[in-house]
A and B are shown apart, each in its own frame.
Chain A
């Protein structure tokens, strides 16, 4: 394994370290950085449990290599915070609306929703449904997830 000198930003912190060049992004996040909020579900881009923000856009970290992070900025679920440093607006509304059951898909759903609301603060219910097509949840039936994202949108725009 030849090393690669990776330079990037993770959750606001500049990082420089040597990694094996063939490290997957998900293993880099979970094993090297110890950030366990990002999950591996299917490992083939179907379920969205591994979503992270790369330069502000949601990507499936299970299908990326760590070298693809070079020169870019990564935000994981641990990097999302509210204005007061506490829970993020979406984390609060997911709790309030009961949009979390087992919780395995929740980090991915929140990352996808955050990417949408940053890009489109006035997203409609249809926009939210389209944005979450790549996120599977086997507990909630999605209705509560949709109302949680709508509530976070309304709180943000209030």
Chain B
């Protein structure tokens, strides 16, 4: 356990408190990853800063062109949010696969992104939704395509003390699918996962974005397969070709959860299932 947990009441108070806090510090959002790591003896920070109740991070807001999802909104709140269901069909399809119902009452997308696990279901879906991540460090703000936040397993482009404010998803009608292969149908960590966002018109793909979990060092945006799908007819032949292409774009490893060759093969299977469901 850290020596100390700070709980600022607002963003303003957070920036004011920062200089006085112990130097080895981390943000605590829902805690489902951080406290697990700490219980296992794998976190050695001297201070956590509880940002889970910061009002600035707790809202889902709609503008004319985009949907903002605060980084500390609980996954179960997203599950019940009408604008999220409308504008984020990939994320909505992923949520039932995200941990268990009680963990979804605790976990947040901000934590899912900051933890930067290659298997994170929430951020994999958001990458396919073409989300941007909004970051703040005192008065400085910046925005990155979410796919560029991840630099390696459990590594991000976040600067020291930089905070994830939330995510912005463009309001563009599209179909969404999330297919995950785990050790069981629910509440397991994926061996492989495929997220698909697709704008479909007259049986043709106008635009597609494919993201994958657990088959690369980061939640992977499959740029080549996504570009290849644009303009194609939605057919079993297209699905079969896309399934071959995706296998060349992933770089899975063999570990405790699965084997590299199996994972690679399953990426093709899951993508063709996702395309089939988007066509339906």
A residues apposed to B, CB below 8 Å:
1-2, 4, 21-22, 24, 43-45, 48, 51, 54, 57-60, 62-65, 67-68, 70-71, 112, 115-116, 130-131, 133-134
Quick one: closest B residue to A66, CB to CB?
B5
How far apart are the CA atoms of A130 and B5 in the complex, in Å? 34
How many Å from the CB of B183 to the closest CB on chain A?
A: 12
The 0/1 profile, CB within 8 Å of A marked 1, for residues 1-19 of chain B is 1111111000000000000
Give 4 nearest A-B pairs by CB, closest first: A134-B100, A21-B5, A57-B105, A22-B1
**A112 touches which of B6, B32, B102 (Cβ 8 Å):** B102
Q: Give A124 to B32 CA distance when docked, in angstroms.
A: 28
Q: Which residues of A contact B32 (CB under 8 A)?
A: 45, 60, 63
Q: Tell yes or no: B280 within 8 A of A by CB.
A: no
Query: How near does chain A come to B186, taking the closest CB pair, in angstroms?
Result: 4
Q: How far is the CA of A68 from the CA of B5 in the complex (A)?
A: 10
Q: Judging by beta carbons under 8 Å apart, are B52 and A68 in contact?
A: yes
Cβ-defined contact, A59 with B50, below 8 A: no
For B35, the chain A residues whose CB sits under 8 A away are 24, 62-65
Whether A2 lies near B4 (C-beta < 8 A) is: yes
Kindly list chain B residues whose C-beta atoms are within 8 Å of the C-beta of A112: 101-102
Say which residue of B39, B50, B102 sits within 8 Å of A67 (CB atoms).
B50
A63 close to B36 (CB less than 8 A): yes
| Range, interface on chain B | 20 to 34
- Which of chain A's residues has its CB closest to B40's CB? A44
Are A70 and B7 in contact, CB atoms less than 8 angstroms apart?
yes
Q: From the candidates B3, B7, B28, name the one contacting A1 in the complex (CB within 8 A).
A: B3
Decide if B4 touches A130 in the complex (CB within 8 Å): no
Q: Interface of B with A (CB < 8 Å)?
A: 1-7, 28, 31-32, 35-36, 39-40, 48, 50, 52-53, 76, 96, 99-103, 105-106, 186-187
**Best-buried of A43, A62, A134 by chain B (most CB within 10 Å):** A134
B76 touches A57 (CB 8 A): yes
Report how far A1 CA is from B172 CA in the complex, Å: 49
Which residues from B are CB-within-8-Å of A22?
1-5, 48
- Given A65-B28, A67-B50, CB of A134 within 8 Å of CB of B103: yes
- Roughly how many angstroms separate A43 CA and B99 CA in the complex, as a whole number? 15
Closest to B1 in A: A22
When C-beta atoms are compared, the residue in chain A nearest to B185 turns out to be A133
Given contacts A2-B3, A22-B5, whether A64 and B101 have CB atoms under 8 Å apart is no
Let me know if A68 and B50 touch, CB within 8 A. yes
Nearest CB of B to A11, in Å: 19
**Smallest CB–CB gap between A39 and chain B, Å?**
14
Name which residue of chain B comes closest to A52, CB basis. B102
Q: How far is the CB of B37 from chain A (nearest CB, A)?
A: 10
Report the bound CA distance from A61 to B76 in whole Å: 17
Q: Are B105 and A59 in contact (CB under 8 A)?
A: yes
Which residue of B has the minimal Cβ distance to A70? B7
- A43-B39, A51-B102 provided; 6 other pairs, C-beta below 8 A? A21-B6, A60-B32, A62-B35, A63-B106, A68-B53, A115-B102
